Amino acid sequence: MSDTLEMVKEVIADVLKVDKDNITPETRFIEDLNADSMDQFFLIDGFCEKFDVTISDDEARNIQTVQDILDYIDENI
């Protein structure tokens, strides 16, 4: 899981221009990282590209924390 976490953190840091050392599984995209709807779109797109998965709009709405995307990746690859 740590490799996946590091890869997720890289996507988040790249898209949101934040320090990846401050990102934990409990980090919330909107509340903690101030991501807006466009940022969330680019995050989902980045995760899809990085992990070669497809995330539907309905599934994307449920991804609100780093742990949510880790769980999704774990279940779908």
Would you name the residues annotated as active-site residues?
A: 36
Query: Where are the strands (E) in the chain, listed by range?
Result: none
What is the C-alpha to C-alpha distance for residues 70 and 72, in angstroms, rounded to an integer? 5
CA-wise closest residue to 44 among 60, 29, 32, 68: 60
